[in-house]
Structures are given as C-alpha cells and as structure tokens.
Amino acid sequence: MTEYVYPPVIAAAKVMFRALDLRCTVEGAQNIPRTGGAVLVSNHISYLDFIFAGLAARPAERMVRFMAKKEVFDHRISGPLMRGMKHIPVDRQAGAAAYRDALNALKDGEVLGVFAEATISRSFTVKDIKAGAVRMAASAKVPMIPVALWGTQRLWTKGRPRNLRQRHVPVTILVGEPMYPTRVRDFTPVVDELHSRMSELVERAQREYPETPRPGEEWWQPAYLGGTAPTPEEAAEMDAKEAAERSAP
C-alpha cells in the first residue's frame, strides 16, 4: 500500500521536534510487532498525543492508524490529512461503523491507535477506560499494547492555551508488554487489568520525569504529586458539567 501523506507528516513532526528541541525518550518499543495487527492503547493528556503515541511505533517501522472523533475529519485542514493517513473517524452517535472499520484494519495487519479514555484526562491520571480496544483485539486475535505518555500536556492540553513555542520539554513514551485478550462474555477483568497496567506506566513516567514544575507551572503536575491539576474527582465533575452544557438545547 503506497503512503503519500503519512511519510511527509512524520517528516514535518521531526522538524518540529528539532525546532523545539523536544527531548523524547521512548522505552519498550520492542514490544510493538514489526508485522501483523496490534492495538496500541494510550493514555490521553494532550491534543498532540497521537503524534507521540505514533512515535513509539517508528522503531518497528510501523504507521499507526488512530481512531479519532468525526469532527476532526470534518475540519477543512485536518480532515484531508486524517483521511490521507488512513485514520478512522468515530461518530459517537453511530459507533458500529467505526468499530467495523477498525476491525477490518486489524485483520489487514494494521497497527491501530486507541485513546480508551475517550477524552483528555484533566487530572493527568488514567480515567475509566472503555472496553472497545479489548473487544477489538480479542475479535481480531491481535496483541493489545499499553502506552504511557508524559510531558505532552505541557505543550497543549484541555483548558490551557497551547504553547508550541516552548523549547526543551522532555516527553516520555513508555510502551508496556503486550496483552493477549481472548473473546469472553465479560471483558471487565481484562479492562481492569489494562487500566492497572496503564496506570502503573503513567505513574512511573510521572515519578521518573526529569523535571519538576517551576513556580507558577504546577498546573501540569498531578495533584497526588503536589501539583495543582484537578483531582480525579474534581476532573470528573468538570467533565460532567461540560457534557451537560454541550447537550443543553
């Protein structure tokens, strides 16, 4: 399959990394298979996470097809790029089509990227995750690989102005060991195990991060490490309020 859009986008991302002197550390990339389908399940703390989660697959020379909300594909600029990179649109009112497209991609040997929390975590901890990624991996009989990102929230996250001129920001990308879910009636135990593994990776990335916030920048540190990010409970209330406002007539 000829790729006309993805390689130039990767090249542009590398130019951006160099311009900002981002210090990206990838650990565990050997866990991503060089051939065959796989589901990468990443935490979600930034609008740029798809770039960095995709970076985890570059040592294996894989291109990740991400599932993203339909609105991104409707945008006049991002839409053509997303379609050109063969990402998969998700219409939350009609999710069956996206699930079918994702399953077909996995069976065709693609690497699928999923943010199982569905939305950005304001608390920078792992929110409740959906079972879709587990179901897809089990149905396609492919490995499911947890990924933890940390540092990307400093560039652009929910509720904060984007700061794409900030230089020298460390970005940590940890790739966990594969899981091999099988088709069962109840996926809850596997979802719980995935959540546990993702949380362990994220917390490790946070504790081992090479920088601490400067005075006035404590917003990007989770509350449990002394930062001023919302607690998971506060973040859940903020999400609920936002959802109610969005659905109001």
Q: What pLDDT was estimated at residue 92?
A: 77
Q: What span, in angstroms and rounded, lies between the C-alpha atoms of 89 and 45?
A: 20
pLDDT in tens, 58-87: 999 999 999 998 999 999 989 999 999 999
Where do the domains of the chain lie, and which CATH numbers do they carry?
6-247 (3.40.1130)
Which tokens belong to 17?
């990394």
Q: Going by C-beta distance under 8 Å and a sequence separation of 6 or more, which residues neighbour residue 241?
A: none
pLDDT at 54 exceeding the cut of 70: yes
Residue type, 23: R
User: Please, are residues 81 and 5 in contact by the beta-carbon 8 Å criterion?
Assistant: yes
According to the 3-state scheme, what is the secondary structure of the chain?
Answer: CCCCCHHHHHHHHHHHHHHHCCEEEEECHHHCCCCCCEEEEECCCCCCHHHHHHHCCHHHCCCEEEEEEHHHHHCCCHHHHHHHCCCEEECCCCHHHHHHHHHHHHHCCCEEEECCCCCCCCCCCCCCCCCHHHHHHHHHCCCEEEEEEECHHHCCCCCCCCCCCCCCCEEEEEECCCECCCCCCCCHHHHHHHHHHHHHHHHHHHHCCCCCCCCCCHHHCCHHHCCCCCCHHHHHHHHHHHHHHHHCC
Q: CA-to-CA distance for 21 and 169, rounded, in angstroms?
A: 7
d(CA 173, CA 151): 9
Q: Is the pLDDT of residue 1 over 70?
A: no
149-158 confidence digits (pLDDT tens) = 999 999 999 9
pLDDT at 193 over 90: yes
What proportion of the chain, given as a percentage, has pLDDT over 90? 92
Read off the pLDDT of each residue in 154-180 and give the average, rounded to a whole number: 96
Return mean pLDDT, the chain. 95
pLDDT tens, residue by residue, 14-50: 999 999 999 999 999 999 999 999 999 999 999 999 9
Nearest-angstrom CA–CA distance, 60 and 36: 11
